């Protein structure tokens, strides 16, 4: 059974074509919500957040960086960038 478990988490972003004014679920500011973030795990939706543009940008960067770091860790084998 354990061999079938994949701790895959997936994050996807949906950009609203018409931003709506409400509270951002990340920074708690009342602003225009431009992006909805979906978090899925093992193919199941486990959560979503409605985000203002600045939070969305930060999270998108964080997700991209995390993927890059993870790949780098696997391939670099202890090589140092200084």
Residues at the site binding Zn ion, with contacts judged by CB under 5 A: 24, 26-27, 52, 55
Smallest separation, CB 42 to Zn ion (Å)? 28
Classify residue 54 as exposed, middle or buried by CB count within 10 Å of its CB (0-12, 13-18, 19+): middle
Residue 40 vs 59, nearer CB to Zn ion: 59
Residue 10 vs 25, nearer CB to Zn ion: 25
Residue 22 vs 69, nearer CB to Zn ion: 22
Q: Which helix (H) or strand (E) holds 6?
A: none
Q: Which residues partner with 20 through β-bridges?
A: 33
């Amino acid at each position: 059974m354990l061999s079938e478990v994949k701790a895959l988490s997936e994050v996807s972003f949906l950009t609203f074509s018409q931003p709506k004014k409400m509270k951002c679920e990340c920074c708690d500011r009342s602003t225009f919500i431009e992006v909805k973030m979906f978090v899925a795990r093992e193919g199941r939706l486990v959560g979503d957040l409605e985000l203002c543009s600045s939070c969305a940008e930060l999270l998108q960067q964080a997700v991209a960086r995390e993927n890059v770091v993870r790949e780098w860790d696997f391939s670099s084998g202890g090589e140092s960038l200084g």
